[in-house]
């Protein structure tokens, strides 16, 4: 039973965004080393590529200390002038490094900086860059008592406020996968959306009930999220030694790794195998078991709602039997939105994307790529030509970012 659960935990790494299949990525335990505390995102990925990078710490209202990195162009001709601020929000089991894993010509974080944008990079609580709290240690179970709801309403909301305060400008938001769940939930809040100029969502998710990934559906059907919590596991950290060893050997076991990624994210068209080692050096990052359960609740119930604690605690916390829904129609019609999604994405299914669109008051600008899967939108070698130029054109069409 323990072996089965460990295998399942390893599969969960791939859930919604991370890990790999053997043809593109190798499960090499040597690459999955634990980074020392003095290693930083700036020093590891951004400064070596020739970009200036500043590190900030933001305190959330519930006491977490989260990392926020500011990246500037390597182009000296810009004379230090900063363009509109854009905040990049990563997805599940990833962190801010996800935007810098390819070359400067392929990675969105670098591309935006070179295009003159003032790039800010989020890493939410629990990731290796953001394991601080004013009173809790990451070893405390209370440290991991959160889901994407808190990531949206506390982490992302506070980072938007920080960027807005520092730049005195409204903020452009870019999210991928779980980062889009967070963005949509945050944009429903009037005190947050008033600080946002526009949002670009890659693989947008607010509903998951048409998800088609067979391995994910199997895990949901077995209620493995509930099993994890029942076992007293609160942190999902796939860099623990036992799980590193498992990842290193899993392809020799019962799981067919050549089909693993496709079975979870959909068929991805455009990976470059040269980034495999770097990808596995930085991913996956920890998340909470409660977060995983919240996502599984969305799949089972077909809702975009707050965390479901069960009938009695729901009554105590929410004053109703079921958790309140996040109402997409509360996002202002006047807020410009851009969405990119793919025909081979088994997580952000086209049917669910269409349901999200129907719930909005406004009409987002859309980019649909039939051959793109879930990970192509952040890892494709053709991303600049296929996706990012279109997104940047959308941002440019807005004119200069509005000052407060």
pLDDT in tens, 339-398: 999 999 999 999 999 999 999 999 999 999 999 999 899 999 999 999 999 999 999 999
Is the per-residue pLDDT at 34 higher than 60?
no
The sign of the dihedral angle between the CA atoms of 373, 228, 178, 305 is positive
Structure tokens belonging to residue 53 = 């990078």
Parallel, antiparallel, or unpaired: how do β-strands 287-288 and 235-236 relate?
antiparallel
3-state SS assignment for residue 372: coil
- Give me the phi and psi of 110, to 5 degrees please: -70, -40
Q: What is the CATH number of the domain that holds 395?
A: 3.40.50.1820
From 97, 155, 225, 345, active-site residue? 345
Lowest mean pLDDT among 22-31, 49-58, 161-170: 22-31
The residue with tokens 């997409």 is 328
Catalytic residue status for 38: no
Closest by CA to 205, choosing from 74, 353, 335, 83, is: 353
Contact 52, 78 (CB under 8 A): no
H or E stretch at 122:
strand 118-123
pLDDT at 292: 94
**How many structural domains are present in the chain?**
1
Alpha helix locations (H) across 52-156?
A: 108-114, 148-150
pLDDT at 26: 35
Structure tokens belonging to residue 10 = 């390893």
Report how far Cα 250 is from the mean position of its chain's Cα atoms: 25
- The answer to whether residue 173 sits within a structural domain is yes
pLDDT at 22: 30
Catalytic residue status for 177: yes
- The answer to whether residue 15 sits within a structural domain is yes
Q: How confident is the model at residue 27 (pLDDT cuts 50, 70, 90)?
A: very low
From 14, 177, 288, 401, active-site residue? 177
- The answer to whether residue 25 sits within a structural domain is no
Look at 196 and 278; give whichever has higher pLDDT.
196
Count of other CB atoms within 10 angstroms of residue 340: 27
Q: How confident is the model at residue 216 (pLDDT cuts 50, 70, 90)?
A: confident
Look at 256 and 112; give whichever has higher pLDDT.
112
Range of the domain at 382: 1-19+38-399
Helices (H) and strands (E) in the chain, counts: 18, 11
The residue with tokens 């790529």 is 369
From 69, 176, 294, 374, active-site residue? 374
- The answer to whether residue 32 sits within a structural domain is no
Q: Output the CA angle 281-285-290, nearest 5 degrees.
A: 160
Catalytic residue status for 397: no
Structure tokens belonging to residue 245 = 């060893």
- The answer to whether residue 100 sits within a structural domain is yes
pLDDT at 136: 97
Closest by CA to 20, choosing from 237, 332, 272, is: 272
Closest by CA to 229, choosing from 138, 293, 287, is: 293
- The answer to whether residue 73 sits within a structural domain is yes
Is the per-residue pLDDT at 31 higher than 60?
no
Residue 88 CB contacts under 8 Å (≥ 6 apart), including other chains:
96, 99, 108, 109, 112, 119, 120, 121, 122, 174, 175
pLDDT at 155: 98
Is the per-residue pLDDT at 88 higher than 70?
yes
- The answer to whether residue 29 sits within a structural domain is no
- The answer to whether residue 79 sits within a structural domain is yes
Contact 181, 205 (CB under 8 A): yes
Contacts of range 133-137, beta carbons closer than 8 Å, 24 or more positions apart: 133/63, 133/64, 133/65, 134/59, 134/63, 134/65, 135/63, 136/63
pTM of full prediction above 0.75: yes
């Amino acid at each position: 039973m323990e072996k089965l659960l460990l295998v399942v935990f390893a599969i969960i790494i791939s859930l919604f965004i991370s890990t790999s299949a053997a043809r593109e990525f190798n499960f090499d335990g040597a690459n999955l080393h634990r980074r020392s505390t003095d290693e930083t995102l700036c020093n590891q990925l951004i400064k070596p590529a020739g970009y200036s990078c500043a590190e900030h710490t933001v305190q959330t209202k519930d006491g977490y200390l989260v990392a926020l990195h500011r990246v500037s162009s390597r182009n000296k001709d810009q004379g230090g002038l900063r363009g509109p601020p854009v905040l990049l929000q990563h997805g599940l089991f990833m962190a801010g490094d996800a935007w810098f894993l390819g070359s400067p010509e392929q990675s969105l974080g670098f591309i935006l900086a070179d295009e003159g944008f003032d790039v800010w990079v989020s890493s939410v609580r629990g990731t290796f860059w953001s394991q601080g709290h004013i009173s809790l240690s990451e070893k405390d179970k209370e440290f991991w008592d959160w889901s994407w709801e808190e990531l949206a309403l506390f982490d992302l909301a506070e980072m938007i406020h920080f960027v807005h305060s520092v730049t005195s400008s409204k903020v452009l938001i870019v999210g991928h996968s779980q980062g889009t769940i967070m963005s949509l939930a945050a944009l429903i809040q009037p005190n947050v959306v008033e600080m946002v100029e526009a949002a670009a969502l890659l693989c947008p998710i607010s509903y998951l009930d048409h998800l088609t990934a067979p391995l994910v559906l199997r895990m949901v059907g077995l209620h493995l999220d509930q099993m994890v919590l029942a076992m007293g596991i609160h942190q999902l950290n796939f860099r623990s030694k036992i799980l590193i060893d498992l990842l290193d050997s899993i392809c020799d076991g019962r799981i067919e790794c050549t089909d693993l990624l496709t079975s979870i994210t959909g068929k991805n068209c455009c990976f470059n195998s040269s980034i495999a080692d770097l990808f596995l050096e930085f991913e996956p990052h920890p998340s909470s078991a409660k977060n995983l359960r919240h996502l599984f609740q969305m799949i089972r119930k077909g809702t975009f709602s707050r965390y479901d604690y069960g009938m009695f605690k729901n009554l105590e916390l929410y004053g109703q039997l079921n958790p309140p829904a996040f109402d997409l129609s509360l996002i202002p019609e006047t807020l410009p939105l851009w969405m990119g999604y793919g025909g081979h994405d088994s997580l952000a299914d086209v049917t669910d994307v269409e349901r999200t669109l129907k719930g909005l008051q406004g009409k987002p600008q859309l980019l649909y790529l039939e051959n793109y899967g879930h990970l192509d939108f952040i890892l494709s070698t053709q991303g600049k030509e296929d996706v990012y130029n279109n997104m940047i054109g959308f941002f440019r069409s807005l004119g200069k970012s509005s000052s407060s």
